[in-house]
Amino acid sequence: MTDDPNKPYLAWLYGNLDIIVPAVAGVLIGVASQEDHSLRTTLIRFVTGVLAATLFTDPTLDYIERDPAVYKEAVAGLWGITGYAMSKFLTNLKLKHLREIVAIVRGKS
Would you kindly state where each structural domain of the chain is located, as residue ranges?
A: 9-106
* pLDDT, tens only, 10-61: 777 777 777 778 777 877 777 777 676 677 777 888 888 888 888 999 999 9
- pLDDT (0 to 100) of residue 62: 93
Q: How much is the pLDDT for 59? A: 94
Q: How far apart are CA 54 and CA 48, in angstroms?
A: 10
- Closest residue by Cα to residue 34 from 89, 105, 74, 78: 89
Q: Which pLDDT value is given to residue 84? A: 84
Distance CA 33, CA 49 (A): 15
Provide the percentage of residues in the chain whose pLDDT is more than 70.
91
Rounded to 10 degrees, the C-alpha dihedral 75/16/22/43 comes to 110
